[in-house]
Chain A
Amino acid sequence: MRDLIIGYVFIFASVIGFLVSLFQRNRRLQKRVQDLKEELRDSNSRF
């Protein structure tokens, strides 16, 4: 029974961990895209 619980917990933890990392990466990259677009707009308006 203990082995079975460890197995299921490991599988769920792996999938949830992967999903959380996806959401974090998505949020971080969206923020980076916004920052870069602003930076690009600023540099364009300077010239």
Chain B
Amino acid sequence: MNTKVLGVIAFVLMLITCYLIFVVAPIESTMGIVQKIFYFHVPNAILSYMAAILLGFASIMFLATSNQKWDRYGSVSAELGVLFTTTAIVSGMIWGKPAWGKYWVSWDVRLNLELVLLLTLVAYLMLRAYLPNQEKRATLSCVFGLLALLNIPFNYLSIYLLPTQHPKPVVSPGGGGIDPGMKPAFYLSLLTWLVLFAYLFIKRLAVARLQEEVEYLEHRVRNA
């Protein structure tokens, strides 16, 4: 599918999602209108997990095959991971203030593991920016890719296994479920963010390919 078409689909879906969130979905009785941040917070948190899983998978594949394409996929996933982990944390903090009375609960396992995930992804990108040698860069950054992957099961299970302020996910096992009136807005939001993720991934992949071409051409010009 053409990338532009995917971008247009994501844009149209986003407009419909916003309409469903702000016009159709009911206002939650306990928390009021601020609960509507949920429709973006949950999909963004899921995408932060997805980015970390893709990064970990790409790191494993690179270590197994030494194929540069996996390194490229890994770096793209890490950048998207930073974006979605940041939006998930910030939207969570904004929801946390009226729900818990404060933006951040110190030593809450779920919150801190999400922060650790963000710092791991930032460290991955910083390491890559620091190392000029392509092969060395790809191999060493895999360590941080694997650390990001390792974070995910602990991060996800922390709310089931440890005492935490963070509520159990409403749409997964053990969760309370959501009001039927909220379901269309929530599931469409999830689909919209997935399409947007795919669009951003393809766009960023094209930039990564161009970066590699520039590095190759610079090498050839130096040796000409």
Query: Which chain A residues have a beta carbon within 8 Å of chain B's beta carbons?
Result: 1, 3-4, 6-8, 10-11, 14-15, 18-19, 22, 25-26, 29-30, 32-33, 36-37, 39-40, 43-44
Most buried by B among A1, A15, A39: A15
**Contact indicator B221/A39 (Cβ below 8 Å):** yes
With A7-B94, A7-B95, A22-B200 as contacts: A14 and B87 at CB distance below 8 Å: yes
Cβ of B115 within 8 Å of any chain A Cβ, yes or no, is no
Q: With a CB–CB cut-off of 8 A, which chain A residues contact B91?
A: 7, 10-11
Can you list 26 A-B contacts (CB < 8 A)? Answer: A1-B34, A3-B98, A4-B33, A7-B41, A7-B94, A8-B37, A10-B87, A10-B90, A10-B91, A11-B40, A11-B91, A14-B83, A14-B86, A15-B196, A18-B83, A18-B200, A22-B200, A22-B204, A29-B210, A29-B213, A30-B210, A33-B210, A36-B221, A37-B217, A40-B220, A43-B221
Q: With a CB–CB cut-off of 8 A, which chain B residues contact A39?
A: 221
A22 vs B218: C-alpha distance in the bound complex, in angstroms? 21
Mostly, the B contact residues are helix
Query: Which chain B residues have a beta carbon within 8 Å of chain A's beta carbons?
Result: 33-34, 36-37, 40-41, 44, 83, 86-87, 90-91, 94-95, 97-98, 196, 200, 203-204, 206-207, 210-211, 213-214, 217-218, 220-221, 224
**Contact indicator A3/B94 (Cβ below 8 Å):** yes
A6 vs B95: C-alpha distance in the bound complex, in angstroms? 11
With A15-B83, A26-B210 as contacts: A8 and B40 at CB distance below 8 Å: yes
**Contact indicator B224/A29 (Cβ below 8 Å):** no
A3 vs B37: C-alpha distance in the bound complex, in angstroms? 9
**Contact indicator A29/B207 (Cβ below 8 Å):** yes
Closest to B79 in A: A18
With A3-B98, A7-B37, A40-B220 as contacts: A22 and B207 at CB distance below 8 Å: yes
